[in-house]
Structure 1
Amino acid sequence: MSLMDEVLPHVDVRVVAFCLLKERLHVLVCSASANGYELPGAPVLLNCSLEETAARRLGELTGIRETYLEQLYTYGEPQRANPRLISVAYFALLPANRLSKTPPHPACWFAVDALPALTGDHAEIIAYALRRLRYKLEYSAVGFQLLPERFTLSELQRTYEMILGEKLDKRNFRRRILRAGIIEPTTECRTGEGRPARLYRYRPDAVAEVKARRLFP
C-alpha cells in the first residue's frame, strides 16, 4: 500500500504556532509558492490522530516534541480556495528557549503585526487564533506556556503586553498576578544592570482557571 493510499482524502491539519521573539509575538509560516506563505500543515494519516499529526509536523519544524497544543476550529467552507479540502486548525505556544536555532526550509517566523501575503484563508485562521489566545489570557495562565521555567515579573508583564498588544500598568499588574496565587518566588535572582531581579515560577498546583479568572484588563 502506498503512502497516498493511507492518507484520508481532503483532510489536513494546520498549526498556528506562536512564539515570543525579539520582543514581539511571532507566528510560524512556510513558503508555499507564488501565492505566498501558508500555515504549517500535513495530511492526516489513517493511523494518526489529528493532534498527533499537528504535534509531529510542529516537531519537524521547531524541534519541540511536546508543547501546549489546542484545537482551534475546523475550516471547510465551500468558499475556500480548495473547497474540497477540510482543514482542522490548532494553535500552539512555544517558549523561545526550547526552539531549534533555525527552522528548516521552508519554515520561517514572522511578527503577527507584519505578516507576509498568505494563501487562502490562512490570514483569517491566524487572526482567529490570536483572538482566542488573547481571550484565554484573561481567564487562564496560558501565557506561561511562552515563558521559560523561571522568569522575572518584568518578563512576565512584557509577555502579557506582547500578546495583548497594549501596555499594562506595572503596579496594577504585579498586584493582580501575585494576588492570583499562580506564581511563587524561587531562591534565585537574575543579575544585570541595576538591582538583581527575583525569579519566579508558575505553580503547577495552582487552579489557574479559577484563581486567574478575569485577571485582565
Structure 2
Amino acid sequence: MMHTHSIPAIERERAQTAVTVDVVIMSVRDGALRVLLVERGGEPFAGSWALPGGFIEPDEDAHGAAVRELAEETGVAADGFHLEQLATYSAPDRDPRMRVVSIAHLAFAPDLPDPSEGSDAVAARWWSVEDLLDDPDAPRLAFDHEQILRDALERVRAKLEYTTLATRFLAEPFTIAELRAVYTAVWGAPPDRIGFTRRVLATDGFVGPDPDAASQARTGNPRPMLYRRGEATQLQPALLRSEATSA
C-alpha cells in the first residue's frame, strides 16, 4: 500500500522535469578571454544576462540541441567550433519554473563574429570573463550560470596545460606570439616567452611550420614565422601554468 500511494507523486514529479542545454562559448578577442551572453527576453530572469541555451527537443540529443541553440540565440553557426560536454547541473531549485536539469557544453573557436540576437534573446554580446567573475559591479547572471562559467573557465585552463587545444582559439596560420597570447588570456598571466617558445617548438606535433614559412625563411623575410596546428592532441609532459608563468 505504501508503494501504491507514492507512485502518483513520483509520476507528477517526473512530468514536471525538463532537460536543457547551456553553452559556454569562449573566444579570445582584443587580447582578452571573452564569453558570449544573451539578454533574456522572457521570464524567468527577463532582462538578465545568461548563457545561450534552451530545452532539448524530443527528436534531438544534447549535442544537437547545443548546436541548434548556438544558431538560434546568437546567429553563430557551430562550424569550426570545438564543442564538448562540460557537466550536468541538477540542483532542484536552479530554475523557478520546474525541475530543470541542464547539460552544459563548452565551445570555442577563433575569429568569431559579433553575435546577433535570436528568437529568445533581446540582445547578445561578448563579455570579458575576468570582468564577469571578478568585478563586483558586473551584472549577475541568470540561474546558476555564474557557476557554470567558473567551471568552464577552470576546464579551459586545465586543458591548456595537458592538451594542444590552445591552437583551436587561433585562425591558421599563426605565430608563436599569438599562441602565447592565448595562454596569457586564459591563464591570466603570460608564460615566460623564451621558455614557452622553446617548449612549443620542442614538443612533437604541437605546431608545424606553415608551407610558406620555409620560403619565407630562405628569402630573409623579417616577419615572424607562421605555424599551423600539429597532429598531437596531448602534451607530454604537461605545460603547467604554475611553472610556465613563474618567471
Q: Distance in 2 between matches of 1:87 and 1:50?
A: 10
SS at match of 1:150: coil
1:212, CA displacement in angstroms?
4.3
1:56, CA displacement in angstroms?
1.5
Deviates more, 1:124-133 or 1:34-43: 34-43
- Which AA in structure 1 matches 2:126? W
Q: Which residue of 1 aligns with 2:64?
A: 52
Q: Which residue of 1 aligns with 2:12?
A: none
Cα RMSD after superposing both structures = 2.0
- 1:129-184 C-alpha deviation (Å, 9 max, x unpaired): 00011011100011111100210010000111101111211000011111112111
Q: Distance in 1 between matches of 2:142 and 2:191?
A: 34
- Which AA in structure 2 matches 1:216? L
Q: Which residue of 1 aligns with 2:84?
A: 70
Which structure has the larger Rg over C-alpha atoms? 2
Deviates more, 1:86-95 or 1:53-62: 53-62
More strand per residue:
1
Q: Distance in 2 between matches of 1:169 and 1:103?
A: 38
- Which AA in structure 2 matches 1:215? L
Question: Are 2:181 and 1:158 equivalent residues in the alignment?
Answer: yes
Question: Are 2:229 and 1:202 equivalent residues in the alignment?
Answer: yes
Question: Are 2:240 and 1:216 equivalent residues in the alignment?
Answer: yes
Q: Distance in 1 between matches of 2:179 and 2:68?
A: 29
Structure 2: stretches of 5+ with no match in the other structure = 1-15, 133-138, 242-247
- 1:90-140 C-alpha deviation (Å, 9 max, x unpaired): 0101212xx334433521110001123211210010000000110111000
Q: Which residue of 1 aligns with 2:9?
A: none
SS at match of 1:47: coil
Q: Distance in 1 between matches of 2:29 and 2:68?
A: 22
TM-score using structure 1 length = 0.85
Q: Which residue of 2 aligns with 1:91?
A: 106
Q: Distance in 2 between matches of 1:212 and 1:110?
A: 33
Question: Are 2:208 and 1:184 equivalent residues in the alignment?
Answer: yes
Q: Distance in 2 between matches of 1:36 and 1:101?
A: 19
Distance 1:63 1:35, change over 3 A: closer
Q: Distance in 2 between matches of 1:92 and 1:29?
A: 13
Q: Counterparts in 2 of 1:100-179, with a 5 A limit?
A: 100-104=113-117, 105-115=122-132, 116-179=139-202
Point out 4+ residue stretches in structure 1 off by more than 6 angstroms.
Answer: none
1:34, CA displacement in angstroms?
4.8
SS at match of 2:94: coil
Q: Distance in 2 between matches of 1:101 and 1:85?
A: 30
- Which AA in structure 2 matches 1:141? T
Structure 1: stretches of 5+ with no match in the other structure = 1-7
Q: Counterparts in 2 of 1:34-53, with a 5 A limit?
A: 34=46, 36-53=48-65
